Amino acid sequence: MTGFYSRLREARQDDDQLAACIERVAKQLEDTSTSGDRPGMLLGKIQSGKTRAFVGVIARAFDRGVDIAVVFTKGTKTLSAQTVARLRHDLRDFINDDEVLVFDIMQPPGQLTKSEQRRKLVIVAKKQSQNLDRMLHFFAHDYPDLKDRRVLVVDDEADLASVRFVQKRNQPDVEQGKIAEKMDNLRRLVGKLVFFQVTATPYSLYLQPDGYEESGYVFKPKKPAFTELLPIHSAYVGGDDYFIRRPDPDPRSFLFVPVQREEQDALRRPDQRRIREDNVLDSPNTRGLVRAILTFVLAVCLRRWQQAEANDKKKKYAMVIHNDTQKAAHAWQNQVIGWIFDAASSAAVDEPERLRRYFADAYADLKESIEADQGRLPGVDQAFEMFVNALQGDDMVRETVNSDREVMALLDERAELKLRTPFNIYLGGSILDRGITIPNLIAFYYGRNPRTMQADTVLQHSRMYGSRDRRDLAVTRFYTSRDVYSRLSTINDFENALREAFESGAHEQGVVFLQADARDRVRPCAPNKVLLSNVVAVRPNGLYLPTGFQTRRTTKDLAEADRELRQLIPPDAIDQQQFVDIDRGTARHIIAVIEKTLEFPDDDFEWDAMRGLLDYYSDVRDGGDGKVLLLAETRRALSRSASGDKSGLSIIGGGAIRTLVRDPVRSKPALVLLRQEGMREQGWSGHPFWWPILAAPATAEPCVFATKVATD
């Protein structure tokens, strides 16, 4: 009989990249000594097929002599049920042939017979005390002979309750300590055990040191025994689609729709002075939500029309509204959403023309992105008729999801949220994060706006990531505030910097984490302590620059700054398309002068990070010579509307300047200064100004700079 994985691969049609990744992981698990202290790791992106991959690893490990796989999941019934369902689905042929037995440790099939004990076992347990106790009892007392078998432990969502789990604010450490201790007890109980972690957010695992030094410059984080990157499959939609600026025309340019923070705050608690039933469609405090809901309805109509035209099966679609975690807030939001639907449905029945302007806005929005995708559209009148009919019908499903019990009732046979009708809207909190799969999600209204964001937590909110039909991207929208979008973009940079470190082999030296203290020195910082709202991730040859700003409107201040900068910048660095060496102190002085000329209405810029990174890259203690490369260009005329590119590439432009800045062998940090004309007709305040861009050395390690650090 052929092996487990070869049969599984044939049934699932795994591609060559995934099969090769699974083979590498299984071989390294066999060849490498792994434990809770030195695990193997599979690093994937959010919703990128990690479960599919570790099921493949289990099957291949069975081929290599492993007898039992123990899968630990996040401590919710929903994710545990989803994991069991997925395992049973993928391994169904082996289960039907009595080769494999899959069960939840809290719901065993009864006393295992001798023949069942001889099968390959896959046991799922939540990372929760009772589940861990039950697992220990299973090996120590129920079936003591099994503890001598070869066991593979798969720690899914490994950064939660892992060996290196970090206490969160207002959360007792005793529970997490117990879980970690019991996982260690299992390792001690089972003699032939290999340990394997799976996550998309490894910051508190891979990058956490064993201890902290009071002195010193940077630390290099301890590595797992090995790390494999899960290949990104062709259907994956992720952060790069949402947060990397694209040249027009590209349907991804339309994904982000800004929402006012005042609106999202008004949705947090009942207040009919700000939101009333009688004007819910026109209130400034519901404008973004109304647009999101009605655009979602029209988007579904247009996609289903396209599918009918192509003789494809018409799909059902989902929208998620995730503004808060509190049930009281969900009750208020549910009431407001009910008002919106009642008002829109009543108008659709009694006065359809009242909806014409809402439809026109949604149609114009979707038309741009569909045409950018070279898609087809029905005529305006036909589309309006479909829109009205949808609102008149009884196909709008709205569910509030804020507990395990409620989620369990909404799952299908694969433990994914079941789409009941063409239009499904889910309102909820954190229960909709990690591991919960929401098919065909094309609208996400996101209002979580903590003072500080934690990368692993926020990334797990990104239910819009995953295997998506790219034709759906043309009608997909992400509604959030500009400042949240900016911070999410930073987190995406953070994730990319980390992944690039693995891809390039730089993780052999470590990703560098730096922190500036009040005395403006650089000190080591534990990555799990970083406040993501104050983090800058810079890759080798990456650019760090302010965006989203306006210049000060006082002519005198800008003129004085311009005169001072002209004195600081060497003449042979201006419009010569060449770098000139300057000392680090002069570079810091230039940045300080420019800092006073720019204002940030929607978001802040971490000037300390720019200074700190210059210090780090040029410091003689780390191989620098104390010098910074400087290049200045004048007569630039970029419009403010085109100034939001955080990558900095379009702002630098093409040609000789980009070639200089992107030189793959440049070993010094570079400061690029672009003097913009700043004319009013371009959206600026009407005065010339200097735009600073820091270019990291091409030969540097990926670097994450924190200007602040979380406290317990």
**What is the per-residue pLDDT across 146-174, written as a single tens digit (0 to 9) for each?**
999 999 999 887 765 444 434 445 554 43
DSSP assignment of 92-147, as one string?
A: HHHHHTTSEEEEETTB--SSPPHHHHHSEEEEEEESSHHHHHHHHHIIIII-GGGG
**pLDDT more than 70, % of the chain:** 82
Task: Specify the DSSP element, H or E, that contains 458.
Answer: helix 455-460
Exposure of 242 in the CB half-sphere (CA atoms within 13 A): 31
273: amino acid identity, one letter: R
Lowest average pLDDT, out of 267-276, 462-471, 475-484, goes to 462-471
Cα 452 → chain centroid: 15
Beta-sheet pairing, 150-156 with 68-73: parallel
pLDDT at 525 over 80: no
Q: Bridge partners of 580? A: 630
- 80-110 pLDDT tens trace: 888 898 899 999 999 999 999 999 999 999 9
Burial of 325 (0-12, 13-18, 19+ CB in 10 A): middle
Find, among 460, 397, 466, the residue nearest to 432 by Cα.
460
313: amino acid identity, one letter: K
Q: What is the pLDDT of residue 709?
A: 55
Please state whether 653 falls in left (phi above 0), alpha (psi between -120 and 50) or beta: left
Give me the chain's average pLDDT, please. Answer: 84
Cα distance between residue 526 and residue 709, in whole Å: 8
Q: What is the pLDDT of residue 707?
A: 66
Here the tokens at position 545 are 């620059």
Cα distance between residue 660 and residue 273, in whole Å: 57
- 391-449 pLDDT tens trace: 998 889 888 887 666 677 777 766 677 899 999 999 877 666 555 778 899 999 998 87
Cα distance between residue 371 and residue 374, in whole Å: 5
Task: Specify the DSSP element, H or E, that contains 357.
Answer: helix 356-372
Place domain 4-201 in its CATH homologous superfamily: P-loop containing nucleotide triphosphate hydrolases (3.40.50.300)
Most confident of 233-247, 382-396, 643-657: 382-396
Find, among 138, 143, 93, the residue nearest to 118 by Cα.
143
**pLDDT more than 90, % of the chain:** 50
DSSP assignment of 313-336, as one string?
A: PPPPEEEEEE--S-HHHHHHHHHH
Q: Are 26 and 57 in contact (CB under 8 A)?
A: yes
Lowest average pLDDT, out of 112-126, 497-511, 538-552, goes to 497-511
In the chain, residues under CATH classification 3.40.50.300 are 4-201
DSSP-derived 3-state class of residue 270: coil
- Give the residue, 308 or 712, on which the prediction is more confident: 308
pLDDT at 309 over 90: yes
Find, among 514, 574, 539, 569, the residue nearest to 694 by Cα.
539
Cα distance between residue 712 and residue 709, in whole Å: 10
Q: What φ, ψ does residue 122 adopt, rounded to 5°?
A: -125, 115
Exposure of 508 in the CB half-sphere (CA atoms within 13 A): 4
Q: Bridge partners of 107? A: 104
Cα distance between residue 265 and residue 252, in whole Å: 27
pLDDT at 228 over 50: yes
**DSSP one-letter code for 541:** T
